[in-house]
Structure 1
Amino acid sequence: MMRNHQASGEERTRGLDRGALRYLARRRQRDARGTHRRSARRGDPRRDLCRAGTRHTTVGETPLAPGSAMPVIGETITLALEEAAALVRERRVSPVELTDACLARIETVEPRLNAFVTVTADLARAQAREAESDIGAGRYRGPLHGIPVAVKDLFATKGIRTTAGSRILANWIPDQNATVVRNLHEAGAVLLGKLGLHEFAYGISSVNPHFGDVRNPWDTTKIPGGSSGGSAVAVVAGEAYATLGSDTGGSIRIPAALCGCVGLKPTFGRASLFGAVPLAWSLDHPGPLARTVRDVALATGAIAGYDPRDPVSAERPVPDFLEGIDQGARGLRVGVPTDHVWEECDPAIAGTVRAALEMLARAGADVREIRSPRAAEYAKAAATVLGVEARAYHEGAFPGRSAEYGPLIRARLLSQGDVDADAYARAMRLLLEARAGAADHDLDGVDVLAMPTVPTRAWTIEEAKEVGRPSEWTRITRIFDLTGQPAISIPCGMDPDGLPIGLQFAARMWDEAGALRAARAYELARGPFPLPPLDG
């Protein structure tokens, strides 16, 4: 397995197998950082925040009230991004302390999970010190300032290896950042590293023959979903407060569903694709994953915006995605499609999603069944576009360097690119019609659509390695990659195998606020969702 941990031997933490939290507690007592000393150091009682590694740890279960005691530093890894940001803003916790806690957590859990391809420890500590200095001087940039994040390893990062999960790009070191990475930097975020993925983002499992398989933190014999598997795992395992992924057929929402976090695919063109290794130009969407809906809203606001270097970037104002997000379920009109999305759905998943919608209805939402007659047509067209455009992108290296590709992507490139021009033209015409307003007509009379994110249960790692294994994983999610409409996945329960189940909401073009409001309304009705029982 090829890994690149950018940290000197001096800076690499020793003895973390004996407990990252104990190490950080000792270091915090030892360090003399006057800027961020707090009353909790004097032995004041700590708030009983849930510790990482305890069964049914939850995010945001015990919000920190103004004036409350500061949490033990190791416990900050279970906070929601918004809660950690409040502590940083109030100078009750240092960005350096948050970063050290995340790096220690990475060292502890990575041998089991393999969420990262590259850990940028030196850079993260330098950025954290800079954030600490700026905030101390009154130059606070906003809620991501000083917050440790990580990005999928297909977004270019200046001076940092960017592999797209492939041997083909194993030694590529970009000379500039992708726009979404630059936007995170300008927001003051701290970059912990690059996250594992399915090779070239062309798959749903995140098994990877070049950099090792990403593993589901709920059951490490199972896949985390993909292609942004590392992005979801890092969030739920407490390695980062938010992450970036990309979504072409469901690659943000599928791992969010299987790992138990929130993942948003924004409207096509909302966030720039400049500097992202493409899978299919017409379908690719960058977007965030985090532990709560409000956290995802904050991260979306940070990465969104017009970019003249991206030809599909939309010159539209970026709204405040938190505005109206807490309106709750009352008055929310939710349409549940009866076409396509429930077909071949695992009964346990279907039952859990329907129970979640009943909960939303009890909270005051108007939940009704509706027709979505073009859903199957959209799903088929998305598969056509993806196959043709992926094959076109790889024509410079495939089949000439086919031996350097892993077996799964090699098989897909061989089988899915053979589409005649007429079929591709018909699919692209349907895409253009959908994005011009046809797909929004499916929401006539409702605010959002609701359905399962993934219709089937997670495979084992070994099952996922079987070339040619039939899959309908993206049959629901890829609809909205074709239409370009925003769609979000939020966990709504557990399947019989003990893995999370995702509930998906989709809204009209440019109405991320509507999707976020619906997901937040369900989140408020549901209550905190547990984190996986990782020890140490």
Structure 2
Amino acid sequence: MTHDLIHLSAADLASKLASREVSSVEVTKAHLDRIAGVDGDVHAFLHVSENALAAAAAIDERRAAGETLGELAGVPIAIKDVLCTLDMPSTSGSKILEGWVPPYDATVVAKLRAADLVPLGKTNMDEFAMGSSTEYSAYGPTRNPWDLDRIPGGSGGGSAAAVAAFEAPLALGSDTGGSIRQPGAVTGTVGVKPTYGSVSRYGAIALASSLDQVGPVSRTVLDSALLHDVIKGHDRRDSTSLTDDWPSFAAAARAGLAPDALKGVKVGIVRELNGEGFQQGVKARFAEAVATLQAAGAEIVEVSAPSFEYAISAYYLILPAEASSNLAKFDSVRFGLRVTPEGGGTVEDVMAATREQGFGPEVKRRIILGTYALSAGYYDAYYGSAQKVRTLVQRDFSRLFDEVDVLISPSAPTTAFPIGEKVDDPLAMYLNDLTTIPANLAGIPGLTLPMGLAAEDGLPTGLQLMAPAREDARLYTYGAALEQLFEASWGHSLISQAPHLEYSEQTAATEGVV
């Protein structure tokens, strides 16, 4: 039973729970057993909830009493450690917040609880979401379930790996420059960066406030849509939150299952996001995806966005600048780690010692870069110029969406690379977000779904779809249509081909997960 439950989609679990074929306690226990059995190898979780089974039991009692529950009621979910949770530590992958338990839930976490999902725990991530491989976590790297010697992407590698390893059917991530979509590509999962402002950022530990966006991680397009429906909507506590009335994204995904869902759709291939420097296996799978779209009746148009050539440079000036400001709050005075120098010292001495010990090398690198870019003598030359490029990126997207309905590209230029290969080469690491960064600069939505395995290494590749701001529903309709076509051609879902990590349910129970 456990094996069967952990391999079901969130939608299928929800159906079985609603019909009372299984209980939330059974489903939650199956996933907790899975975590206990395999997470010693994967290291997707930083903290496993002690309240999960009690929360599941309470949902089962309410269902038995005839209460009306949410569509995903009783389904377990993992939560990226960048999100505040009042009953679990929230460290953002950093030693400077080790053991810190917030006094409140992030809005999206509160919405999960209100919709009767069951939080399983907090997932590993690059420190303060700075990274593309989850190797910059202060608590050690997460490993890719497809190959434990390779990275699961970043910064949200923990959430993607948890879903790919069947430790959770759903997860929440955050995407600043691709931290949902790039991990999705290299782990064979589905990830969505919603329109900026459509999902509350209140309670998300900020990296770059004009770029960060919380979004869903899952194994199917429909599951992401169902989770997106839970977390979307206006939040008065988030000053950037949109007041739109959003459509049902689950309904949009189901509409994509119609036979002619892609007929007549204009699809733009962005020349600057597919070419030199891309792994051959990624390019081959992308060409096949384009052919699939054409066969389904879509019109393929090659388009160009010249500003995208400068997007990654602009991003790595804007992000560090905003990060240096946001991370100033970690000063040893208000909360978190406090390191007092030997013999004492001033507040400035304590702050310096705390930040030296509490921040990792990548965080320090970006704070220094960002502070420099914002300094009086260099603001216009660096930060100001980067914002001008951002405007050009936004204008290019606006122009392209006058021509096409949706844009596509590979979600990442390569498959998962070996752990340690790029950790000491920041510039090589930054290039992993080449295809995902433009969407964050423009605030538009993006979705990644599996498009097959690369021939040279047998590892997953991802297809990215991008739509105009506020048109997230398009991504779910076209994404679900493509997912159906891909799986029909393969004869199975891609994730079903992932290596199954061995574990003993009896061993898991004796290790304390019961």
Aligned to 2:100: 172
Cα gap change, 1:494 to 1:135, in 2 (>3 Å): same
Q: How do 1:456-535 and structure 2 match up within 5 A? A: 456-468=414-426, 470-471=428-429, 472-495=431-454, 496-527=456-487, 528-531=493-496, 532-533=498-499, 534-535=501-502
Alignment partner of 2:357 out of 393, 399, 403: 403
In 2, are the aligned partners of 1:360 and 1:521 still within 8 Å (CA)?
Answer: no
Distance 2:150 2:311 in 1: 29
Distance 1:209 1:252 in 2: 16
In 2, are the aligned partners of 1:379 and 1:482 still within 8 Å (CA)?
Answer: no
Q: How do 1:307-318 and structure 2 match up within 5 A? A: 307-318=235-246
In 2, are the aligned partners of 1:217 and 1:259 still within 8 Å (CA)?
Answer: yes
Q: How do 1:442-453 and structure 2 match up within 5 A? A: 442-453=400-411
How many angstroms does 1:140 deviate by?
3.1
Q: TM-score, normalised by structure 2?
A: 0.86
SS at match of 2:428: coil
In 2, are the aligned partners of 1:306 and 1:315 still within 8 Å (CA)?
Answer: yes
Distance 2:144 2:269 in 1: 29
2:325 matches 1:392: yes
- Structure 1: gaps spanning 5 or more residues: 1-71
2:309 matches 1:376: yes
How many angstroms does 1:349 deviate by?
1.0
- Structure 2: gaps spanning 5 or more residues: 332-350, 488-492, 504-514
SS at match of 2:285: helix
Q: How do 1:34-183 and structure 2 match up within 5 A? A: 72-120=1-49, 122-183=50-111
How many angstroms does 1:518 deviate by?
1.7
Q: TM-score, normalised by structure 1?
A: 0.83
How many angstroms does 1:86 deviate by?
0.5
Cα gap change, 1:431 to 1:139, in 2 (>3 Å): farther
**1:480-504 Cα shifts (integer Å, max 9, x gaps):** 0000100001111112222210110
2:295 matches 1:362: yes
Cα gap change, 1:227 to 1:509, in 2 (>3 Å): same
In 2, are the aligned partners of 1:264 and 1:289 still within 8 Å (CA)?
Answer: yes
Tell me the C-alpha RMSD between the 2 structures: 1.8
Cα gap change, 1:438 to 1:250, in 2 (>3 Å): same
2:249 matches 1:321: yes
In 2, are the aligned partners of 1:198 and 1:208 still within 8 Å (CA)?
Answer: yes
**1:157-197 Cα shifts (integer Å, max 9, x gaps):** 01321000000000211011000101111111000000000
Aligned to 2:281: 348
SS at match of 1:374: helix
Distance 2:118 2:425 in 1: 38
Aligned to 1:418: 372
In 1, are the aligned partners of 2:219 and 2:495 still within 8 Å (CA)?
Answer: no
How many angstroms does 1:432 deviate by?
5.8
**1:137-172 Cα shifts (integer Å, max 9, x gaps):** 222322221000010001000132100000000021
Q: How do 1:214-225 and structure 2 match up within 5 A? A: 214-225=142-153
Which is further off, 405-414 or 313-322?
405-414
Distance 2:371 2:160 in 1: 29
Q: How many residues are matched?
A: 463
SS at match of 1:367: strand
In 2, are the aligned partners of 1:408 and 1:465 still within 8 Å (CA)?
Answer: no
Which is further off, 392-401 or 333-342?
392-401
Overall identity of the aligned pairs, in %: 36
Cα gap change, 1:90 to 1:454, in 2 (>3 Å): same
How many angstroms does 1:392 deviate by?
1.8
How many angstroms does 1:264 deviate by?
0.1
Which is further off, 317-326 or 234-243?
317-326
Cα gap change, 1:218 to 1:340, in 2 (>3 Å): closer
How many angstroms does 1:357 deviate by?
1.5
2:211 matches 1:249: no
In 1, are the aligned partners of 2:124 and 2:137 still within 8 Å (CA)?
Answer: no
Q: Which has the higher helix share?
A: 2
Aligned to 1:427: 386
SS at match of 1:193: strand
2:224 matches 1:296: yes
In 2, are the aligned partners of 1:208 and 1:214 still within 8 Å (CA)?
Answer: no
Aligned to 1:53: none
How many angstroms does 1:417 deviate by?
4.5
Cα gap change, 1:432 to 1:468, in 2 (>3 Å): closer
**1:282-331 Cα shifts (integer Å, max 9, x gaps):** 10010010000000000001001100101101111121012343243223
How many angstroms does 1:381 deviate by?
2.5
In 1, are the aligned partners of 2:312 and 2:437 still within 8 Å (CA)?
Answer: yes
**1:241-264 Cα shifts (integer Å, max 9, x gaps):** 110000001000010001000000
In 1, are the aligned partners of 2:222 and 2:250 still within 8 Å (CA)?
Answer: yes
SS at match of 1:462: coil
Residue 526 of structure 1 aligns to which amino acid in structure 2?
F
SS at match of 1:455: coil
2:263 matches 1:305: no
SS at match of 2:216: strand
